[in-house]
Chains A and B, each alone.
Chain A
């Protein structure tokens, strides 16, 4: 079975631009969570979606938004990119919503803002 799939794997954007990152969960998983991992740090929670509804939001500005589609795939959108948005963006899927048990992470999208 395929794991969590993220695209693209690498991306370079200019300050002020917007970006869309995509995630396909493991088949049968209805929950998708997004994390930002800055170099040398642990991942930080951005959003969780379950059954197309937002179930949690981390401490990130409104420039960050996400959505989940009927097939449970998800997009993370970031507007007005800043240099500080450069990071590895990770998607995790699970079959549960109220617990992180069974989280499986994708390999991430490496975003570089120049």
Chain B
């Protein structure tokens, strides 16, 4: 089955610095790669996503890159702020034989932005 590895597990940066989180996936049939931010006591919130036919996508301070050949995708956060502190999950989506779809998540990165 699909396996998604995520690194690092914890990341501490100074306010204003950049943060990079990396993921690799195993199933070449995966075609959609969202990133989620999860705060304590809440469900995952989509922050950015990328489809398999796109190499890079940017939304203000957040960008995602995808290398389909290497099965790598990364999240880049620039000008980090204290409110960026949370757990971030990458995920890979594939269609199922029953016509549905499933997300396979990475193990998460605890990002701490220090003042």
* Chain A positions near chain B (C-beta within 8 angstroms): 4, 31, 33, 35, 40-45, 48, 50, 54-59, 90, 92, 96-101, 103-108
B93 touches A99 (CB 8 A): yes
- The stretch that binds A, out of B41-49, B54-62, B63-71, is B41-49
* Chain B positions near chain A (C-beta within 8 angstroms): 1, 4, 6, 31-32, 34, 36, 41-46, 49, 51, 89, 91, 93, 95-96, 98-108
B100 touches A48 (CB 8 A): yes
Q: Provided the pairs A42-B108, A44-B105 are in contact, do residues A54 and B44 lie with their beta carbons within 8 angstroms?
A: no
B44 touches A56 (CB 8 A): no
Neighbour of A41 across the interface among B43, B45, B102, B107, CB < 8 A: B107
A42 touches B106 (CB 8 A): yes
A42 touches B43 (CB 8 A): no
Please name all residues of chain A whose beta carbon is closer than 8 Å to the beta carbon of B99 when the two chains form the complex: 50, 55, 97-98
Chain B residue nearest to A55 in the complex (CB): B100
CA distance A80 to B42 in the complex (A): 27
Q: Provided the pairs A42-B108, A45-B102 are in contact, do residues A105 and B43 lie with their beta carbons within 8 angstroms?
A: yes
B103 touches A45 (CB 8 A): yes
A45 touches B104 (CB 8 A): yes
A105 touches B45 (CB 8 A): yes
In the assembled complex, the CB of B59 is this many whole angstroms from the nearest CB of chain A, namely 15
Neighbour of A56 across the interface among B36, B101, B105, CB < 8 A: B101
CA distance A106 to B102 in the complex (A): 16
Q: Provided the pairs A101-B32, A103-B34, A106-B43 are in contact, do residues A56 and B100 lie with their beta carbons within 8 angstroms?
A: yes
Chain B residue nearest to A104 in the complex (CB): B46
CA distance A43 to B102 in the complex (A): 11
CA distance A97 to B41 in the complex (A): 27
Q: Provided the pairs A90-B44, A105-B45 are in contact, do residues A56 and B98 lie with their beta carbons within 8 angstroms?
A: yes
